[in-house]
Chain A
Amino acid sequence: MTFNIYDFTELTRSIDDGLKAVMSPGWALFTELVLIGLVFLILYALIGLFLVYAERKVCAFIQNRLGPNRVGPVGIFQTIADLIKLLMKELIPIKNADKLLFNIAPFIVIIASFMAIAAIPFAKGLHAIDFNIGIFYVIAVSSLGVVGILLAGWSSNSKYSLIGAMRSGAQVISYELSVGLSLLTIVVFAGTMQLSGIIESQANGWWIFKGHIPAMVAFVVFLIASTAETNRGPFDLAEAESELTAGFHTEYSGIKFAFFFLAEFMNMFIVASMAVTIFLGGWMPLHFGTGNLFNHIMDFIPPLVWFFGKTFVVIYIMMWFKWTFPRLRIDQLLTLEWKYLLPINLFNILFVAFLTLMGWHF
């Protein structure tokens, strides 16, 4: 078993071979699934905790504050302390709430984000499943989360929650179109829906650079639409704390609230990693030209660093506009999608199809 930081294909294959040598193929598959599940659970928790901490520090930086700085050095254990607090809090039962739906809703939200993470390629050979319709899968799965939000708002027997949930429903379903279409732009360029295939196609340059203007447009549209899809500011109408106190999760407490909270942050991570995978070359290093020294130095940086580095840059941009922009109103939100983003996107995709047909892209 060799451990190569630049290519995980051998490592995963040797684990597979090793397992198959000692047990039947069915059990080997089962063991692998359990292993992957465990790894993802740990990854999920770690990324979630880190993102909460990062958001606090970023927003503190934007707001001239220090942010958490008491628990541990520069406050790095603050989120863990908060997690423990949330775990120990009472789960307040709501009178006249639909108990089943009320309890199921946070799990639907968190499962949807958990499923999406499976298709993300973290490095060469390091992904759980490499679908040939990877993009389709991610879009389909990540849109499941809105069901949880709608159920949460509906079942908690609160008017604020219901308004929040309805807003969220309208918002997510509208912006799904833009997310899908902007990703399709690159699918047309790359000629594949397989995420690993799209990354391979960016070996000689990221799509945002070699995709001319359409790729830029698609990237900007994707960034806006995906922020809206994750219900984050300035599109946080579903929560809208100044209007609806906390929107769809007003009535949730303790760890159930934490599930919504965690799912929001993980959705942000998934969306950012999709942006990185599709537009910014995934785990591919940054290259200019061919065979020069710069490229060699860039190749030396491991793909995992590239992937997480780029993802956190995108996440930082999303945090940046959350903390500087006011919130949109619901009619403005829908106007932005249906009157601006969607037509732009449709023209963009036609243009891309034309470009690809003529073979005018690299």
Chain B
Amino acid sequence: MQEEIIKNIILGEEEDYLINVGPQHPSTHGVLRFEVSLQGETIKKVVPHCGYIHRGIEKMCERDTYPQIIHLTDRMDYLSAHMNNEAVCLCVEKAMEVEVPERVTHVRTMLDELTRIASHQLWWCAMGMDMGALTTFFYGLRDREHILDIFEESFGTRLIQSVNTPGGLMQDIHPGFQKRVKEFISYFRKKLPEYDQLLTDNVIFRERSEGIAPLSREDAIQYGVTGPSGRASGFSCDVRKSEPYGIYKKLNFKEILRTEGDTLARYKVRIGEMYESMNILEQLVDNIPEGDYTAKMKAVLRLPVGEFFQRVETSRGELGVYIVSDGNKTPYRVKFRAPNFSNLFVISKLAPGYKIADLIAISGSLDLVIPDIDR
């Protein structure tokens, strides 16, 4: 009986035309496998299979001290590495009741938004590629390079910064940081309309994204779809607004919400967020307070016995860090609530009834980062 159920779940009906999209496929953005039953070109059923790059990060966290855990979180959602770091730092700081200097929260928020723009730029590249517009890739990467250069100048690293540590930053920002950020904003304000010219306003892109795979608000909440994908369905889930951390409560910014919930809405929310992130950066860049770049911390960090939780808004949704401490220098248990994991499984609800080409566009619009799903 049980075998039969499993067989039905995995294989579907006998006569279905079954193809595996992945684990090695150009459009899954990593090692993810969609098992797709087709009828002609139309999708009957999609079953996502994950776990191909499961590295046991949560288990590894139990072995490491808190400053070491930070570097593991980089490797989950590598495109929002800074937010992942920050989540653990905030959780540890909250548990230890450490007051971090204002400069640190300020700089962290700026790095958050820079990371968010860089991540959305890469998403835009990949989204275009998934739709078959190859030129988007180079436009997006061209602009993303400027952000990575800013990171490189200050911290020596580009993709994952690993600059956070409980209590602050490992090193101060480069003196040219402010100037570079200002240059980037004025540059990117000019370049972002190009994105619309190249892809958003293209008639083929519109045809392929408008009204495709709408996700209702109820479903978004039920599946726990957060981040831009959830906000496209009208699910107001921005942690920066609902549970502000860092300096966000002092800032004046909009939460981009749309109601359509289709591929185009998910696309437009991300484009809108890039504008919004630039607004936030503009508010912050001129008044970075002077001061220490880290609080005084003990040499060995021990969290008090108890359970601690912190959520942050990464570029893909809500990341929750849950730490159970037994008073040792290593945590007893760490659990990450990864946004991509929830965002992935909604695809088996969205895709059926659409064409195989739409599946790729939908998974592109959900903006999945596979290492974050598997952890």
Q: Which residues of A contact B (CB under 8 A)?
A: 59, 62-65, 159-160, 163, 167, 233-234, 236-237, 240-243, 245, 323-332
Q: Is the CB of B356 within 8 A of A64?
A: no
Q: Is the CB of B41 within 8 A of A64?
A: no
Chain B min CB distance to A61 (Å) = 11
Q: Is the CB of A64 within 8 A of B138?
A: yes
Specify which chain A residues have a CB less than 8 angstroms from the CB of B26 in the assembled complex: 241-242, 245
Q: Is the CB of B357 within 8 A of A323?
A: no
The reply on B132 being an interface residue by CB < 8 A is yes
A-B contact pairs, 30 of them (CB 8 A): A59-B134, A59-B135, A62-B135, A63-B135, A159-B18, A233-B132, A234-B132, A241-B26, A241-B132, A242-B26, A242-B129, A242-B360, A243-B357, A243-B359, A243-B360, A323-B135, A324-B133, A325-B132, A325-B204, A326-B128, A326-B208, A328-B204, A328-B207, A329-B208, A329-B355, A330-B41, A330-B355, A330-B357, A331-B41, A332-B207
Chain A min CB distance to B291 (Å) = 41
Q: Is the CB of A240 within 8 A of B41?
A: no
Q: Is the CB of A326 within 8 A of B138?
A: no
The reply on B300 being an interface residue by CB < 8 A is no
Q: How far is the CA of A329 from the CA of B129 in the complex (A)?
A: 14
Top 9 A-B residue pairs of the complex, sorted by shortest distance between their CB atoms: A327-B132, A326-B131, A63-B138, A326-B133, A242-B27, A329-B357, A159-B19, A326-B132, A326-B204
Specify which chain B residues have a CB less than 8 angstroms from the CB of A241 in the assembled complex: 26, 132
Specify which chain B residues have a CB less than 8 angstroms from the CB of A167 in the assembled complex: 41
Chain A min CB distance to B132 (Å) = 3
Q: How far is the CA of A64 from the CA of B357 in the complex (A)?
A: 27
The reply on B102 being an interface residue by CB < 8 A is no
Specify which chain A residues have a CB less than 8 angstroms from the CB of B25 in the assembled complex: 245
- Name the residue among B133, B199, B357 with the largest chain A CB count within 10 angstroms: B357
Q: How far is the CA of A314 from the CA of B179 in the complex (A)?
A: 46
Specify which chain B residues have a CB less than 8 angstroms from the CB of A326 in the assembled complex: 128, 131-133, 199, 202, 204-205, 208
CB-contact partner of A329 in B18, B198, B358, under 8 A: B358
Q: Is the CB of A327 within 8 A of B204?
A: yes
Q: Is the CB of B357 within 8 A of A327?
A: yes
Q: How far is the CA of A237 from the CA of B26 in the complex (A)?
A: 15
Question: Quick one: closest A residue to B21, CB to CB?
Answer: A243
The reply on B52 being an interface residue by CB < 8 A is no
Q: Which applies to chain A's interface (DSSP): helix, strand, loop or mixed?
A: helix
Specify which chain A residues have a CB less than 8 angstroms from the CB of B355 in the assembled complex: 329-331
Specify which chain B residues have a CB less than 8 angstroms from the CB of A327 in the assembled complex: 131-133, 204, 357
Interfacial residues of chain B within 89-146, with CB under 8 A of chain A in the complex: 128-135, 137-139, 142
Q: How far is the CA of A331 from the CA of B19 in the complex (A)?
A: 20
The reply on B17 being an interface residue by CB < 8 A is yes
Specify which chain A residues have a CB less than 8 angstroms from the CB of B41 in the assembled complex: 163, 167, 330-331
Q: How far is the CA of A344 from the CA of B356 in the complex (A)?
A: 30
Q: Is the CB of A159 within 8 A of B138?
A: no
Q: Is the CB of A242 within 8 A of B19?
A: no
Q: Is the CB of B204 within 8 A of A234?
A: yes
Chain B min CB distance to A194 (Å) = 38
Specify which chain A residues have a CB less than 8 angstroms from the CB of B205 in the assembled complex: 326
Q: How far is the CA of A279 from the CA of B130 in the complex (A)?
A: 35
Chain A min CB distance to B152 (Å) = 21
Q: Is the CB of B130 within 8 A of A242?
A: yes
Chain A min CB distance to B333 (Å) = 40
Specify which chain A residues have a CB less than 8 angstroms from the CB of B202 in the assembled complex: 324-326
Q: How far is the CA of A285 from the CA of B27 in the complex (A)?
A: 47
Specify which chain B residues have a CB less than 8 angstroms from the CB of A59 in the assembled complex: 134-135
Chain A min CB distance to B350 (Å) = 16
Q: Is the CB of B130 within 8 A of A332?
A: no
Specify which chain A residues have a CB less than 8 angstroms from the CB of B134 in the assembled complex: 59, 63, 233, 323
Question: Quick one: closest A residue to B142, CB to CB?
Answer: A64
Q: Is the CB of A332 within 8 A of B132?
A: no
What 12 new A-B contacts, CB under 8 Å, besides A237-B357, A329-B357?
Answer: A240-B132, A242-B130, A243-B357, A243-B359, A324-B135, A324-B198, A325-B132, A325-B204, A327-B132, A329-B207, A329-B355, A330-B41
Q: How far is the CA of A60 from the CA of B368 in the complex (A)?
A: 28
Q: Is the CB of A242 within 8 A of B138?
A: no
Chain A min CB distance to B37 (Å) = 12
Question: Quick one: closest A residue to B24, CB to CB?
Answer: A245
Chain B min CB distance to A39 (Å) = 35
Q: Is the CB of A243 within 8 A of B204?
A: no
Specify which chain A residues have a CB less than 8 angstroms from the CB of B138 in the assembled complex: 63-65
Q: How far is the CA of A325 from the CA of B128 in the complex (A)?
A: 9
Q: How far is the CA of A160 from the CA of B17 in the complex (A)?
A: 11
Specify which chain A residues have a CB less than 8 angstroms from the CB of B19 in the assembled complex: 159-160, 163
Interfacial residues of chain B within 339-367, with CB under 8 A of chain A in the complex: 355-360
Q: How far is the CA of A328 from the CA of B203 in the complex (A)?
A: 10
Q: Is the CB of A332 within 8 A of B208?
A: yes
Q: How far is the CA of A323 from the CA of B134 in the complex (A)?
A: 6
Chain B min CB distance to A220 (Å) = 15
Question: Quick one: closest A residue to B356, CB to CB?
Answer: A243
Question: Quick one: closest B residue to A60, CB to CB?
Answer: B138
Specify which chain A residues have a CB less than 8 angstroms from the CB of B137 in the assembled complex: 63
Specify which chain A residues have a CB less than 8 angstroms from the CB of B38 in the assembled complex: 163
Q: How far is the CA of A327 from the CA of B207 in the complex (A)?
A: 11
Chain B min CB distance to A78 (Å) = 19
Q: Is the CB of B356 within 8 A of A163?
A: yes
Q: Is the CB of B133 within 8 A of A240?
A: no
Q: How far is the CA of A325 from the CA of B355 in the complex (A)?
A: 19
Q: How far is the CA of A241 from the CA of B134 in the complex (A)?
A: 11
Interfacial residues of chain B within 191-230, with CB under 8 A of chain A in the complex: 198-199, 202, 204-205, 207-208
Question: Quick one: closest B residue to A331, CB to CB?
Answer: B355
Specify which chain A residues have a CB less than 8 angstroms from the CB of B128 in the assembled complex: 326
Chain A min CB distance to B356 (Å) = 6
Chain B min CB distance to A238 (Å) = 12
Specify which chain B residues have a CB less than 8 angstroms from the CB of A323 in the assembled complex: 134-135
Q: How far is the CA of A163 from the CA of B39 in the complex (A)?
A: 11
- Name the residue among B129, B132, B208 with the largest chain A CB count within 10 angstroms: B132
Question: Quick one: closest A residue to B354, CB to CB?
Answer: A329
Chain B min CB distance to A349 (Å) = 26
CB-contact partner of B131 in A160, A163, A242, under 8 A: A242
